[in-house]
């Protein structure tokens, strides 16, 4: 179930102000996967370059854990976009 599938959330969504700077919600959701992919690709590169924080993330299972979440999001984006129209 998408968050706005109940009536209260749908009304709230319809009352949102117009897009900021000409960027609407559909454009944002379409940009998210590439932005996240870029971020996830940077984790191993930064760790290899000596970034200890990124190395710590790798020991915690990144970027693989976040890739699983992104993969799930990719399956849900079409439904999200339908609800944004």
Report the domain count for the chain.
1
- The span from the CA of 27 to the CA of 25, in Å, is 5
**Is 7 part of any domain?**
no
Is 65 in a helix, a strand, or coil?
A: helix
Confidence label for 1 from pLDDT (cuts 50, 70 and 90): low
Q: Count of residues for the chain? A: 85
Nearest to 61 by CA among 82, 79, 43: 43
The predicted-structure confidence for 12-29, as pLDDT tens digits, reads as follows 555 566 666 777 888 889
Q: Note down the domain range covering 70.
A: 25-84
**Is 17 part of any domain?**
no
| pLDDT score, position 84 | 80
**Is 57 part of any domain?**
yes
The predicted-structure confidence for 4-63, as pLDDT tens digits, reads as follows 555 555 555 555 666 667 778 888 899 999 999 999 999 999 999 999 999 999 999 999
Asked if pLDDT for residue 70 goes beyond 90, the answer is yes
The residues, ordered by sequence, that sit 6+ positions from 81 with a Cβ below 8 Å of its Cβ are 26, 29, 30
The residues, ordered by sequence, that sit 6+ positions from 82 with a Cβ below 8 Å of its Cβ are none
């Amino acid at each position: 179930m998408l968050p706005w599938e109940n009536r209260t959330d749908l009304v709230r969504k319809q009352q949102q102000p117009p897009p900021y700077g000409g960027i609407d919600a559909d454009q944002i959701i379409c940009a998210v996967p590439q932005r996240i992919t870029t971020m996830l690709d940077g984790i191993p590169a930064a760790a290899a370059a000596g970034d200890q924080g990124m190395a710590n993330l790798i020991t915690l299972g990144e970027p693989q854990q976040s890739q699983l979440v992104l993969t799930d999001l990719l399956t849900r984006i079409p439904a999200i976009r339908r609800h944004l129209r």
